[in-house]
Copies of this chain bind each other. A is one copy, B any other.
Amino acid sequence: MIKIFTHEYRVRHNEADASGRMSVPALGDCMLDIAGLHADQIDWGIDNLQHSGLTWVIAGMKFKICRMPKIDSRFKIETHVAGYSRISTQRDFVAFDDEGKIAEASSEWLIINMENRRPVFINDFVPQLEEVCITEGALPKFKHLRQSKMDISAQYQRCILYSDIDINRHLYSMRYLQMALDTFDFNYLSEFAIKEIDVNFISEVLFGETVDVVRRSDGDMHQVEMLRDGSVVFRAEMSLNFF
């Protein structure tokens, strides 16, 4: 049983923004991908769970970003399970290349019943947690965010469409983050770098639903909320720095 799983990625044009550097949601895509590869390898993959009417969902993430790789550069991600409770597991990621660390992230996962969409006890379905988990050096968990008191600086409304929906038949997790960053001017995100983001996935969003995406800002601190019928379904808080 491989405790630490590693995989190599290459930054494609479609994963970069106008600056030519990989976007944070695209890095997140790679992290979710390697999470799936590792889970398959230790027989916890989504394919296996779906046979029992279950699936993995992500509850939150915390990214710390040193620098974003440029188009066509190669980097590796290393991942392992860094902790668990009765209903959740923590999975950590470190992305790095020959010049050192690119970014790190922690993530929290639940297993839900696909019918009633409620979490189940993880140990009932993945009994090998203890064998695979490395708790030493676990990365800090994401903050549970509350609505910020900063002023609203941008907002838009959007309907959830075909390309937003993933195999779990709900809004794809990294699409929430992409929609949050879409409250920014592309010049701002090309000139400033995201240093840290806390992400809270609060509620599933389904095809055809309409959400409001609202950003509150104070200098280079920002909080983005996504709301459906006035109820918060997602929150992210981030700080940006000059490159």
Contacts and interface: CB of A to CB of B under 8 A. Distances in A.
A186 B167 contact: no
Contacts of A174: 14
Contact of A162 (B46, B161, B163, B182): B182
A221 interface: no
Contacts of A20: 167
A125 interface: no
Contacts of A166: 13-14, 16-18
A165 to B, nearest CB: 5
How many copies of this protein are present in the complex? 2
Given A14-B166, A162-B182, 7 more contacts: A12-B33, A14-B32, A14-B172, A18-B169, A23-B163, A162-B181, A162-B185
28 contacts: A12-B33, A13-B33, A13-B167, A14-B29, A14-B32, A14-B33, A16-B166, A16-B167, A17-B163, A17-B167, A18-B165, A18-B166, A19-B167, A36-B72, A71-B167, A156-B159, A156-B161, A158-B158, A161-B186, A162-B181, A162-B182, A162-B184, A162-B189, A163-B181, A163-B182, A169-B186, A185-B207, A186-B207
